[in-house]
């Protein structure tokens, strides 16, 4: 007789979270009829940030999650601290909520994700993972320290291939190839307004909480909604908005989630201190010689500094000695990475876990730092600091507005 599929109950979820194991036997939903999920299978969830991306992000928690509460700074006129919240800290005190989706503007992603994991919740965060590099390190450290499951949006579920195995093995010492990722970054679309009209704050909006750890600016409606992406206070332009989509799978395949670039060369006009703007391309070189180029295709001359090389499995294997190829065959394959729903059941890391997602985010954050500084930079992947450039380092770890801190 075929064994019925089992879901994950709240009680079992908590037990698995504490014990780090997963062994479940519950009543299958079809036994109850009508195809509905019985209460025993439902997991309590909450959505923090209920704008356009909110429902999609919440959906990444899995089909058995029931939304018990919603939190948004735009709920000031209907906040009851039961179903609707404006302060995520009150929501996170609830013991009936086990999983949280974070879909605020990115200026809040790190602080809310860390607080949720500290409160014993597993987290799906909208992309970009963070607003700047040191936030990503803090989230990755929190994931490890509190033993929680973290995923960036729907990124995950990767089955490793031979290319990944080559880079993960550490046998490839030199890979002087250039990989260009052109276009699709919405650079012009998500540029900020240098001049804007200051207006009265809507009664339903907690503007102070919206700004959060960023400077408290005069209210500008262009900073709210999707257009928030055009301001350094809240995001990093079209690059930060779209790069995680383009780089997540690429970074996994080519092992760029194992370390970070060491040299960054930007090509862009002078940047505005508040508003994200146009750029042409950024060259990011790694210690092993691998060079990744992000090209906007929306400004200036196209990238033509180096000849591109094929980075397929055959070409990479040819870069290894015969002895190293034998070693590679003897090594175990990289571990498969699951999606969030499976990961919370098995208490394993997702394909979009905080450590590797932080490394992916570091790529485009470094590009933005170089654009804002207007000069080449050198980066230490171990200390995660810009080498010999204090002005640039202030963009790696900018101060937060009191009382907020990492």
User: What pLDDT is recorded for position 14?
Assistant: 43
pLDDT at 171 over 80: yes
Backbone angles phi and psi of 183, in degrees to 5:
70, 175
DSSP 387: T
Closest Cα to residue 151, out of 370, 356, 389? 356
User: What pLDDT is recorded for position 176?
Assistant: 87
Domain 10-152 maps to which CATH number in 3.10.20.30, 3.40.50.720, 3.40.50.10490, 3.40.50.740?
A: 3.40.50.720
Domain ranges in the chain? 10-152, 162-335+353-396
From residue 399, alpha-carbon distances to 106, 272, 368 in Å are 16, 19, 17
Question: pLDDT tens digit string along 223-270?
Answer: 999 999 999 999 999 999 999 999 999 999 999 999 999 999 999 999
Residue 18 has which token pair? 């504490």
Burial of 303 (0-12, 13-18, 19+ CB in 10 A): buried
> pTM for this one?
0.89
């Amino acid at each position: 007789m075929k064994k019925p599929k089992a879901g994950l109950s709240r009680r079992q979820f908590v037990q698995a979270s504490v014990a780090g194991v997963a062994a479940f036997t519950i009543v299958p939903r079809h036994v109850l009829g009508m195809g509905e999920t019985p209460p025993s299978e439902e997991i309590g969830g909450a959505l923090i940030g209920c704008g356009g991306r909110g429902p999609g992000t919440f959906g990444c928690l899995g089909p058995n999650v029931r939304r018990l509460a919603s939190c948004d700074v735009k709920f000031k006129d209907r906040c009851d601290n039961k179903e609707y919240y404006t302060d995520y800290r009150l929501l996170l005190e609830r013991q009936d909520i086990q999983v949280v989706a974070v879909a605020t503007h990115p200026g809040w992603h790190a602080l809310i994700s860390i607080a949720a994991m500290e409160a014993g919740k597993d987290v799906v965060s909208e992309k970009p993972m963070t607003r700047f590099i040191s936030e990503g390190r803090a989230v990755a450290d929190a994931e490890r320290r509190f033993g929680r499951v973290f995923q960036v949006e729907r990124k995950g579920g990767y089955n490793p291939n031979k290319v990944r195995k080559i880079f993960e093995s550490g046998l490839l010492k030199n890979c002087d190839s250039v990989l260009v990722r052109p276009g699709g970054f919405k650079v012009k679309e998500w540029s900020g307004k240098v001049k804007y009209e200051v207006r009265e704050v809507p009664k339903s909006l907690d503007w102070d909480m919206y700004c959060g750890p960023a400077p408290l600016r005069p209210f500008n409606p262009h900073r709210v909604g999707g257009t928030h992406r055009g301001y350094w206070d809240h995001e990093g332009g079209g690059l930060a908005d779209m790069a995680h989509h383009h780089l997540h799978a690429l970074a996994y395949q080519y092992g760029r989630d194992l370390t970070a670039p060491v040299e960054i060369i930007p090509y862009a006009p002078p940047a505005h201190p508040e508003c994200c703007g146009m750029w042409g391309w950024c060259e990011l070189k790694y210690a092993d010689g691998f060079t990744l180029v992000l090209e906007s295709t929306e400004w200036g001359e196209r990238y033509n500094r180096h000849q591109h090389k094929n980075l397929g499995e055959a070409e990479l294997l040819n870069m290894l000695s015969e002895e190293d190829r034998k070693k590679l065959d003897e090594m175990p394959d990289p571990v498969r990475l699951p999606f969030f729903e499976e990961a919370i059941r098995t208490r394993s890391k997702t394909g979009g876990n905080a450590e590797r997602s932080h490394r992916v985010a570091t790529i485009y954050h470094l590009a933005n730092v170089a654009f804002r500084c207007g000069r080449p930079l050198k980066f230490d992947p171990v200390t995660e600091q810009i080498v010999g450039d204090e002005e640039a380092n202030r963009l790696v770890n900018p101060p937060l507005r009191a009382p907020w801190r990492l």
